[in-house]
Amino acid sequence: GEGGGGGEGEGERDMWVYLFNDSVVFGSSTTQDLMNKIKVIGFFWLPYLHVRAGYNQQQYQLQQQQQLMQQQLLLQRQQEKNKEEEKEGSEVSEKEKEEKEKK
């Protein structure tokens, strides 16, 4: 921590808050979802408590994990969007066929 021994506990608390806030940013839909995220945090947090020197490594892994989760979320949303568009698209083409047949 900053300014020698006094700041250590504070840094740890800040990290907890940072980790927790970050997990919430993912937009948990259910309590179970949130619990799972807290477990993931615990997984990175506990080694940090035992090995302070490993902090940067844990941070890096956590960031990787977050990027993966965010990418998966984006992918899911994109796929949902595509499905919606496909639905709309096929409805439009059905109408077009009908129009052409009338002529």
What is the pLDDT confidence band of residue 64, given thresholds at 50, 70 and 90? confident
Break the chain into its structural domains and give their ranges: 4-102
Predicted TM-score of the model (pTM): 0.33
What is the pLDDT confidence band of residue 28, given thresholds at 50, 70 and 90? very low
Show the tokens assigned to 39.
């477990």
What is the share, in percent, of the chain residues with pLDDT greater than 70?
43
Q: What is the average pLDDT score of the chain?
A: 68
Contact 26, 70 (CB under 8 A): yes
Residue 1 has pLDDT above 50, yes or no: no
CA separation for the pair 6, 11 (Å, rounded): 10
CA pseudo-torsion sign 48, 50, 51, 52? positive
Name the residue type at position 95: K
What is the share, in percent, of the chain residues with pLDDT greater than 90?
6
What is the pLDDT confidence band of residue 7, given thresholds at 50, 70 and 90? very low
CA separation for the pair 70, 65 (Å, rounded): 9
Show the tokens assigned to 92.
């439009």
Q: What pLDDT score does 39 carry?
A: 66
Taking the CB of residue 44, how many other CB atoms lie within 10 A of it? 19
Name the residue type at position 47: P
